[in-house]
Amino acid sequence: MTPAAGPPAAWTLRGVGIAGRDGGWDVVVADDGTIAEIRPAGTADGGVLLPGLVDLHTHLREPGGEEAETLESGGRAAAAGGFTDVFAMANTSPVTDTPERVRALRQLAAGVRVRVHPVGAATVGLAGKEAVDVAALAAEGVTLFSDDGRCVDDAGLVLELLTAMARQGTAFAQHAQSASIVRDGVVNAPVAAGLGVPGWPAAGEEAVIGRDLALAAATGGRLHICHVSTAGAVALVRSAKRDGLPVTAEVTPHHLLLTDETAARRGPALKVNPPLRSAEDVTAVRAALRDGTIDLVATDHAPHPARTKTCSWQAAAFGLTSLETALPVVAEVFADPASGAVDWAAVARVMSVRPAAIGGIPGLAGRPVTAGGPATFCLVRAERWQAGPDGWQSRSANSPFTGREFAHRVVLTALDGRITHGDRPAG
Ligand SMILES: [Zn+2]
């Protein structure tokens, strides 16, 4: 009996590790975009393969914000960061709040280097007054709803949205920011007085999370908390999960690494929403990511033109670019402090497996790198490099990590066998 011949090999990665597996491997990619074969190799010094990264929270700006980013440039930035799938937030112009606009966005995104999954707005025009037609958008394939950039502040509206989520099996992602508490706050409250600007207190985030957890409990609707940034928010999510509530949470790379003191020192270039928090908060979100209280890392990639970040604290735009440096940041969080060895299975969990599951695309992404599966992965090497001086794939440069050195770098990304970043291996 001869085994059926598979499609011919298109290219082969030699001597690589695979997240979650011991040993070194040659990974043979077939020309139909699947992994034809994984065979033992003597070494694993070619880097480590992770399933393609999935970003549940990206601002790609197009349509309407092309000065800052386009689907094409954002797609290149994502691929350079190891991402194969990104969820595009709805706060574009026009807002993604109808099935027609979802279809239009998908059409615009055809041919870019990542799969773009449209997030549906939660309220019409992001106005916070009237829920979108959740059923119609879900029928169009939308799995995640969010007004991100803005909080859905009205409790009755959140109740209505979560009821609709329960009915459709979709999730509501809340940008937790109480308008009446935060007002015009721009930096973490403890450093605000020293800078002479209004503060953005932890309670502004925690009050909304506490309320929405009660509404998730009342409705059974899935609630996802965007960019958790405080120790108090972590405690709320931890307790809700213990109670079995349908809640998930994300943290951004910048909230894992940077503090309000750094923001105070470096100025409005680091203005972001929610703001960079205290060292204690950073310790809390790191611990929560490691123990699974926080499910995943999402970039909140928020490109802005330079002129909107080089002005006063109050005039500056909120937001940081993040797609191209997320992986090395997360690798630092999961590195053993003594040996430097990275827990790659944990990195794959928080950057691919969990976001794919929560985003409702587990058949497409977040799958282990296995023979017969899609060649959808990224290759990471231990390599010292400095972020920024060679420029960015993103159309914007408002990264908080310009000039910083990292210990790991994404050297190749593939989506269904198509190389979307890096050089095609010889042979
Ligand atoms: Zn947000």
Domain ranges in the chain? 9-48+372-421, 52-358
Query: Residue 342 gets which letter from DSSP?
Result: B
Rounded Cα distance, 174 and 223, in Å: 7
Q: Given phi > 0 = left and psi -120 to 50 = alpha, else beta, which region is 4?
A: beta
Rounded Cα distance, 122 and 116, in Å: 18
Distance from the alpha carbon of residue 129 to the mean position of ligand 1, in angstroms: 18
Rounded Cα distance, 132 and 180, in Å: 24
Distance from the alpha carbon of residue 58 to the mean position of ligand 1, in angstroms: 10
Asked if 417 and 375 touch (Cβ cutoff 8 Å), the reply is yes
Distance from the alpha carbon of residue 126 to the mean position of ligand 1, in angstroms: 13
Q: What topology does CATH give the domain 52-358? A: TIM Barrel (3.20.20)
Q: Is 390 a catalytic residue?
A: no
Distance from the alpha carbon of residue 185 to the mean position of ligand 1, in angstroms: 15
* Domain 9-48+372-421, architecture per CATH: Roll (2.30)
Amino acid at 128: G
Distance from the alpha carbon of residue 57 to the mean position of ligand 1, in angstroms: 8
Rounded Cα distance, 348 and 330, in Å: 10
Rounded Cα distance, 425 and 382, in Å: 18
Residue of 85, 97, 281, 300 with catalytic role:
300
Digitized pLDDT (tens) for each residue of the chain, 427 residues in all: 344 556 777 999 999 999 999 999 999 999 999 999 999 999 999 999 999 999 999 999 999 999 999 999 999 999 999 999 999 999 999 999 999 999 999 999 999 999 999 999 999 999 999 999 999 999 999 999 999 999 999 999 999 999 999 999 999 999 999 999 999 999 999 999 999 999 999 999 999 999 999 999 999 999 999 999 999 999 999 999 999 999 999 999 999 999 999 999 999 999 999 999 999 999 999 999 999 999 999 999 999 999 999 999 999 999 999 999 999 999 999 999 999 999 999 999 999 999 999 999 999 999 999 999 999 999 999 999 999 998 999 999 999 999 999 999 999 999 999 999 999 997 6
Rounded Cα distance, 192 and 353, in Å: 38
Distance from the alpha carbon of residue 227 to the mean position of ligand 1, in angstroms: 7
